[in-house]
A = this chain, B = another copy of it.
Protein backbone atom coordinates (compact mmCIF):
# COMPACT_ATOMS: atom_id res chain seq x y z
CA UNK A 1 0.00 0.00 0.00
CA UNK A 2 1.02 3.63 -0.34
CA UNK A 3 1.77 5.93 2.60
CA UNK A 4 3.21 9.39 3.34
CA UNK A 5 6.77 9.32 4.70
CA UNK A 6 8.80 12.26 5.99
CA UNK A 7 12.56 12.09 5.44
CA UNK A 8 13.75 15.45 6.66
CA UNK A 9 12.82 19.12 6.80
CA UNK A 10 10.67 19.94 3.76
CA UNK A 11 11.14 16.38 2.48
CA UNK A 12 7.94 14.39 2.21
CA UNK A 13 7.24 11.54 -0.19
CA UNK A 14 4.75 8.81 -1.01
CA UNK A 15 6.16 5.30 -0.65
CA UNK A 16 5.07 1.75 -1.11
CA UNK A 17 5.08 0.18 2.37
CA UNK A 18 3.92 -3.22 3.72
CA UNK A 19 0.13 -3.45 3.95
CA UNK A 20 -1.43 -2.47 7.26
CA UNK A 21 -2.28 -5.67 9.18
CA UNK A 22 -3.62 -6.85 12.53
CA UNK A 23 -0.79 -7.27 15.04
CA UNK A 24 -2.53 -7.44 18.42
CA UNK A 25 -5.95 -9.00 19.03
CA UNK A 26 -7.39 -5.60 20.00
CA UNK A 27 -6.37 -4.05 16.65
CA UNK A 28 -8.44 -3.12 13.66
CA UNK A 29 -7.31 -2.18 10.17
CA UNK A 30 -9.13 0.61 8.39
CA UNK A 31 -9.05 1.69 4.79
CA UNK A 32 -8.64 5.47 4.86
CA UNK A 33 -11.38 7.31 2.96
CA UNK A 34 -10.48 10.82 4.16
CA UNK A 35 -7.36 12.16 5.83
CA UNK A 36 -5.73 15.56 6.04
CA UNK A 37 -2.62 17.55 6.91
CA UNK A 38 -2.44 19.15 10.35
CA UNK A 39 -0.81 22.36 11.47
CA UNK A 40 1.17 20.22 13.89
CA UNK A 41 2.55 18.21 10.95
CA UNK A 42 4.12 21.45 9.83
CA UNK A 43 6.31 21.60 12.95
CA UNK A 44 7.90 18.34 11.71
CA UNK A 45 8.00 19.73 8.19
CA UNK A 46 9.97 22.75 9.39
CA UNK A 47 12.18 21.09 12.04
CA UNK A 48 12.48 17.57 10.67
CA UNK A 49 10.76 14.31 11.65
CA UNK A 50 11.01 12.77 15.12
CA UNK A 51 12.27 9.49 13.65
CA UNK A 52 13.88 8.39 10.43
CA UNK A 53 11.27 7.76 7.72
CA UNK A 54 8.37 8.98 9.83
CA UNK A 55 4.93 7.80 8.68
CA UNK A 56 2.72 10.90 8.73
CA UNK A 57 -0.90 11.73 9.45
CA UNK A 58 -3.14 11.45 12.47
CA UNK A 59 -6.63 12.51 11.34
CA UNK A 60 -8.88 10.21 9.36
CA UNK A 61 -12.20 8.72 8.50
CA UNK A 62 -12.10 5.18 7.20
CA UNK A 63 -13.93 1.90 6.66
CA UNK A 64 -13.06 -1.00 8.93
CA UNK A 65 -11.53 -3.81 6.90
CA UNK A 66 -10.44 -6.26 9.56
CA UNK A 67 -10.57 -6.63 13.34
CA UNK A 68 -8.53 -8.69 15.80
CA UNK A 69 -9.97 -11.56 17.83
CA UNK A 70 -10.47 -9.45 20.99
CA UNK A 71 -12.30 -6.57 19.32
CA UNK A 72 -15.85 -6.54 20.65
CA UNK A 73 -17.82 -3.57 19.29
CA UNK A 74 -16.10 -2.44 16.10
CA UNK A 75 -17.09 -4.50 13.02
CA UNK A 76 -15.77 -4.75 9.45
CA UNK A 77 -17.66 -2.48 7.08
CA UNK A 78 -18.30 0.26 9.63
CA UNK A 79 -17.44 3.85 8.74
CA UNK A 80 -15.43 5.31 11.63
CA UNK A 81 -13.79 8.50 12.81
CA UNK A 82 -10.20 7.92 13.88
CA UNK A 83 -9.20 10.46 16.56
CA UNK A 84 -5.55 11.47 16.51
CA UNK A 85 -4.67 9.31 19.51
CA UNK A 86 -5.47 5.68 20.14
CA UNK A 87 -6.81 4.83 23.57
CA UNK A 88 -7.89 1.69 25.39
CA UNK A 89 -11.30 3.09 26.33
CA UNK A 90 -11.17 1.52 29.78
CA UNK A 91 -8.51 3.19 31.92
CA UNK A 92 -9.03 5.91 34.51
CA UNK A 93 -8.25 8.66 32.01
CA UNK A 94 -10.45 7.28 29.22
CA UNK A 95 -13.27 7.01 31.77
CA UNK A 96 -12.79 10.68 32.55
CA UNK A 97 -12.70 11.67 28.89
CA UNK A 98 -8.99 12.45 28.72
CA UNK A 99 -8.06 9.86 26.09
CA UNK A 100 -4.84 11.76 25.33
CA UNK A 101 -3.57 10.54 28.74
CA UNK A 102 -4.68 6.90 28.23
CA UNK A 103 -2.27 4.59 30.05
CA UNK A 104 -2.01 2.42 26.91
CA UNK A 105 -2.42 5.24 24.43
CA UNK A 106 -0.31 6.94 21.83
CA UNK A 107 -0.48 9.28 18.87
CA UNK A 108 -0.71 8.33 15.21
CA UNK A 109 1.86 9.63 12.78
CA UNK A 110 4.47 11.05 15.16
CA UNK A 111 7.07 8.30 14.97
CA UNK A 112 5.68 6.14 17.77
CA UNK A 113 4.30 2.62 17.63
CA UNK A 114 1.41 3.58 15.35
CA UNK A 115 1.91 4.48 11.70
CA UNK A 116 0.25 7.38 9.91
CA UNK A 117 -3.13 8.15 8.40
CA UNK A 118 -1.94 9.91 5.25
CA UNK A 119 -1.97 6.47 3.65
CA UNK A 120 -4.25 3.94 1.99
CA UNK A 121 -4.79 1.98 5.21
CA UNK A 122 -3.77 1.98 8.87
CA UNK A 123 -3.56 -0.39 11.81
CA UNK A 124 -5.59 0.94 14.76
CA UNK A 125 -4.52 -0.19 18.26
CA UNK A 126 -7.35 -0.65 20.79
CA UNK A 127 -9.99 -0.41 18.08
CA UNK A 128 -12.94 -0.50 20.52
CA UNK A 129 -11.58 2.37 22.60
CA UNK A 130 -10.26 4.38 19.69
CA UNK A 131 -12.69 4.33 16.79
CA UNK A 132 -16.02 6.18 16.71
CA UNK A 133 -18.59 4.55 14.37
CA UNK A 134 -20.76 6.70 12.12
CA UNK A 135 -24.10 6.03 10.46
CA UNK A 136 -23.39 8.05 7.36
CA UNK A 137 -22.73 7.28 3.71
CA UNK A 138 -18.95 7.30 3.08
CA UNK A 139 -19.41 9.95 0.40
CA UNK A 140 -21.82 12.15 2.30
CA UNK A 141 -21.29 15.87 1.76
CA UNK A 142 -20.64 16.19 5.50
CA UNK A 143 -17.37 14.25 5.25
CA UNK A 144 -15.10 17.31 5.68
CA UNK A 145 -16.90 18.39 8.85
CA UNK A 146 -16.99 14.82 10.17
CA UNK A 147 -13.26 14.49 9.46
CA UNK A 148 -12.65 17.63 11.52
CA UNK A 149 -13.92 15.76 14.59
CA UNK A 150 -10.79 13.58 14.46
CA UNK A 151 -8.68 16.53 15.58
CA UNK A 152 -9.07 20.12 14.47
CA UNK A 153 -12.65 20.79 15.63
CA UNK A 154 -12.10 18.80 18.84
CA UNK A 155 -8.90 20.73 19.42
CA UNK A 156 -10.60 24.09 18.95
CA UNK A 157 -13.32 22.93 21.31
CA UNK A 158 -10.75 21.82 23.88
CA UNK A 159 -9.20 25.28 23.74
CA UNK A 160 -12.58 26.84 24.47
CA UNK A 161 -13.45 24.39 27.25
CA UNK A 162 -9.98 24.84 28.80
CA UNK A 163 -10.39 28.62 28.57
CA UNK A 164 -13.66 28.20 30.49
CA UNK A 165 -15.73 29.94 27.82
CA UNK A 166 -19.29 30.44 28.99
CA UNK A 167 -22.42 32.42 28.17
CA UNK A 168 -21.79 36.14 27.71
CA UNK A 169 -17.99 35.84 27.86
CA UNK A 170 -15.46 37.96 26.06
CA UNK A 171 -13.10 35.71 24.13
CA UNK A 172 -9.92 36.19 22.11
CA UNK A 173 -8.66 33.56 19.69
CA UNK A 174 -4.91 33.74 19.06
CA UNK A 175 -4.20 32.37 15.60
CA UNK A 176 -6.30 32.26 12.45
CA UNK A 177 -5.23 28.75 11.40
CA UNK A 178 -7.71 25.92 11.14
CA UNK A 179 -7.63 25.25 14.90
CA UNK A 180 -8.24 28.90 15.71
CA UNK A 181 -11.16 29.02 13.29
CA UNK A 182 -12.65 25.94 14.92
CA UNK A 183 -12.03 27.69 18.23
CA UNK A 184 -14.31 30.47 17.03
CA UNK A 185 -17.02 27.89 16.30
CA UNK A 186 -16.48 26.42 19.78
CA UNK A 187 -16.58 29.77 21.57
CA UNK A 188 -19.83 30.64 19.84
CA UNK A 189 -21.33 27.24 20.66
CA UNK A 190 -20.44 27.78 24.33
CA UNK A 191 -22.24 31.11 24.38
CA UNK A 192 -19.49 33.72 24.05
CA UNK A 193 -20.82 37.20 23.35
CA UNK A 194 -17.69 38.85 21.97
CA UNK A 195 -15.22 36.75 19.97
CA UNK A 196 -12.07 38.54 18.85
CA UNK A 197 -10.08 36.79 16.13
CA UNK A 198 -6.39 37.72 16.15
CA UNK A 199 -4.79 37.05 12.78
CA UNK A 200 -3.42 38.48 9.57
CA UNK A 201 -4.90 36.52 6.66
CA UNK A 202 -7.96 38.17 5.11
CA UNK A 203 -9.51 34.98 3.76
CA UNK A 204 -9.18 33.28 7.15
CA UNK A 205 -10.54 36.31 8.96
CA UNK A 206 -13.54 36.27 6.64
CA UNK A 207 -14.16 32.62 7.55
CA UNK A 208 -13.75 33.44 11.25
CA UNK A 209 -16.43 36.10 10.89
CA UNK A 210 -18.67 33.60 9.11
CA UNK A 211 -18.10 31.25 12.08
CA UNK A 212 -19.07 33.91 14.62
CA UNK A 213 -16.12 36.22 15.28
CA UNK A 214 -17.41 39.66 16.24
CA UNK A 215 -14.13 41.60 16.14
CA UNK A 216 -10.83 41.38 14.32
CA UNK A 217 -7.39 42.34 15.63
CA UNK A 218 -4.77 42.38 12.88
CA UNK A 219 -2.01 44.00 14.93
CA UNK A 220 0.92 41.98 16.36
CA UNK A 221 2.75 42.04 19.69
CA UNK A 222 2.05 44.87 22.12
CA UNK A 223 -0.15 46.69 19.62
CA UNK A 224 -2.37 43.61 19.41
CA UNK A 225 -2.71 43.48 23.18
CA UNK A 226 -3.55 47.19 23.31
CA UNK A 227 -6.21 46.79 20.63
CA UNK A 228 -7.85 43.89 22.53
CA UNK A 229 -7.91 46.03 25.66
CA UNK A 230 -9.53 48.85 23.69
CA UNK A 231 -12.21 46.46 22.49
CA UNK A 232 -12.95 45.21 26.03
CA UNK A 233 -13.33 48.36 28.10
CA UNK A 234 -9.65 48.30 29.02
CA UNK A 235 -9.85 45.01 30.87
CA UNK A 236 -8.84 42.29 28.41
CA UNK A 237 -10.87 39.16 27.75
CA UNK A 238 -12.11 36.52 30.14
CA UNK A 239 -11.07 33.61 27.92
CA UNK A 240 -8.22 33.21 25.46
CA UNK A 241 -7.85 30.33 23.02
CA UNK A 242 -4.12 29.93 22.25
CA UNK A 243 -4.11 28.04 18.95
CA UNK A 244 -0.55 28.48 17.69
CA UNK A 245 1.98 27.14 20.21
CA UNK A 246 4.80 29.64 19.69
CA UNK A 247 6.27 31.67 22.54
CA UNK A 248 5.05 34.87 20.90
CA UNK A 249 1.51 33.53 20.65
CA UNK A 250 1.53 32.45 24.30
CA UNK A 251 2.83 35.87 25.36
CA UNK A 252 0.04 37.49 23.37
CA UNK A 253 -2.49 35.19 25.04
CA UNK A 254 -1.23 36.11 28.51
CA UNK A 255 -1.16 39.77 27.52
CA UNK A 256 -4.82 39.94 26.52
CA UNK A 257 -6.35 37.83 29.29
CA UNK A 258 -7.85 39.80 32.12
CA UNK A 259 -7.49 39.11 35.87
CA UNK A 260 -9.42 36.01 36.82
CA UNK A 261 -9.48 34.88 33.19
CA UNK A 262 -8.24 31.68 31.61
CA UNK A 263 -5.97 30.75 28.72
CA UNK A 264 -6.83 27.47 27.00
CA UNK A 265 -3.81 26.42 25.03
CA UNK A 266 -3.85 23.77 22.33
CA UNK A 267 -1.04 24.88 20.05
CA UNK A 268 1.79 22.37 20.60
CA UNK A 269 3.96 24.15 23.17
CA UNK A 270 7.19 25.41 21.60
CA UNK A 271 8.29 27.32 24.70
CA UNK A 272 9.89 26.00 27.86
CA UNK A 273 8.39 28.17 30.55
CA UNK A 274 5.37 30.22 31.51
CA UNK A 275 5.58 33.34 33.68
CA UNK A 276 5.01 32.39 37.31
CA UNK A 277 4.36 35.68 39.07
CA UNK A 278 2.21 37.85 36.83
CA UNK A 279 -0.15 34.92 36.29
CA UNK A 280 -0.33 34.46 40.07
CA UNK A 281 -1.04 38.06 41.01
CA UNK A 282 -3.70 38.32 38.30
CA UNK A 283 -5.34 34.98 39.16
CA UNK A 284 -4.91 33.83 35.57
CA UNK A 285 -5.65 30.18 34.84
CA UNK A 286 -3.50 28.37 32.28
CA UNK A 287 -5.03 25.15 31.04
CA UNK A 288 -5.18 22.89 28.01
CA UNK A 289 -2.94 20.50 26.14
CA UNK A 290 -3.48 17.74 23.59
CA UNK A 291 -7.23 17.56 23.02
CA UNK A 292 -9.19 14.43 23.85
CA UNK A 293 -10.95 14.73 20.49
CA UNK A 294 -12.83 11.48 20.98
CA UNK A 295 -14.45 12.74 24.17
CA UNK A 296 -15.98 15.68 22.35
CA UNK A 297 -17.52 13.78 19.41
CA UNK A 298 -20.71 12.95 21.34
CA UNK A 299 -21.26 16.64 21.93
CA UNK A 300 -20.19 17.97 18.53
CA UNK A 301 -21.60 15.32 16.18
CA UNK A 302 -25.26 16.38 16.42
CA UNK A 303 -24.35 19.94 15.44
CA UNK A 304 -22.29 18.67 12.52
CA UNK A 305 -25.07 16.36 11.34
CA UNK A 306 -27.64 19.16 11.53
CA UNK A 307 -25.34 21.60 9.76
CA UNK A 308 -25.47 23.97 12.73
CA UNK A 309 -21.68 24.03 12.73
CA UNK A 310 -19.64 23.61 9.57
CA UNK A 311 -16.01 23.10 10.59
CA UNK A 312 -15.38 21.31 7.28
CA UNK A 313 -15.14 24.77 5.71
CA UNK A 314 -11.57 24.97 7.00
CA UNK A 315 -10.57 22.61 4.17
CA UNK A 316 -9.80 24.74 1.15
CA UNK A 317 -8.31 22.11 -1.11
CA UNK A 318 -8.70 18.39 -1.76
CA UNK A 319 -5.93 16.19 -3.11
CA UNK A 320 -5.05 12.53 -3.64
CA UNK A 321 -2.06 10.83 -2.02
CA UNK A 322 0.15 11.91 -4.88
CA UNK A 323 -0.63 15.51 -4.04
CA UNK A 324 0.46 15.23 -0.40
CA UNK A 325 4.02 16.60 -0.81
CA UNK A 326 2.57 19.63 -2.62
CA UNK A 327 -0.08 19.89 0.11
CA UNK A 328 2.60 20.20 2.78
CA UNK A 329 4.34 22.88 0.77
CA UNK A 330 1.14 24.84 0.20
CA UNK A 331 0.13 24.71 3.87
CA UNK A 332 3.61 25.58 5.05
CA UNK A 333 3.65 28.63 2.80
CA UNK A 334 0.14 29.60 3.94
CA UNK A 335 -1.20 29.20 0.41
CA UNK A 336 -3.62 26.63 1.74
CA UNK A 337 -5.48 26.75 5.07
CA UNK A 338 -5.99 23.00 5.45
CA UNK A 339 -5.65 20.24 2.92
CA UNK A 340 -8.07 17.31 2.68
CA UNK A 341 -6.72 14.03 1.32
CA UNK A 342 -8.71 11.36 -0.49
CA UNK A 343 -6.23 8.48 -0.71
Q: Which of A258-272 contact B (CB under 8 A)?
A: 259-260, 262, 265, 268-269, 271-272
Question: What's the nearest-Cβ distance from chain B to residue A296, in Å?
Answer: 13
Q: Judge whether A276 and B273 touch: CB under 8 Å.
A: yes
| B-contact 0/1 string along A145-169, CB 8 Å cutoff | 0000000000000000010000000
A98 contacts B by Cβ under 8 Å: yes
Q: Judge whether A272 and B283 touch: CB under 8 Å.
A: no
A43 contacts B by Cβ under 8 Å: no
Q: Which residues of B contact A93 (CB under 8 A)?
A: 259-260
Main secondary structure of the interface of A (DSSP, over half): mixed
Q: Judge whether A275 and B272 touch: CB under 8 Å.
A: yes
A210 contacts B by Cβ under 8 Å: no
Q: Judge whether A281 and B275 touch: CB under 8 Å.
A: no
Q: Judge whether A269 and B277 touch: CB under 8 Å.
A: yes
How far does the alpha carbon of A287 sit from the alpha carbon of B288 in the complex, in Å?
12
How far does the alpha carbon of A272 sit from the alpha carbon of B288 in the complex, in Å?
21
Question: What's the nearest-Cβ distance from chain B to residue A38, in Å?
Answer: 16
Q: Which residues of B contact A275 (CB under 8 A)?
A: 272-274
Question: What's the nearest-Cβ distance from chain B to residue A47, in Å?
Answer: 15
Q: Which of A64-102 contact B (CB under 8 A)?
A: 92-93, 96, 98, 100-101
Q: Which of A229-243 contact B (CB under 8 A)?
A: 233, 235
Q: List 8 A-B contacts (CB under 8 A).
A: A98-B259, A265-B280, A269-B277, A269-B281, A271-B276, A272-B276, A285-B287, A286-B287
What residues make up the interface of A, taking CB atoms closer than 8 Å to B? 92-93, 96, 98, 100-101, 162, 233, 235, 250, 259-260, 262, 265, 268-269, 271-277, 279-290
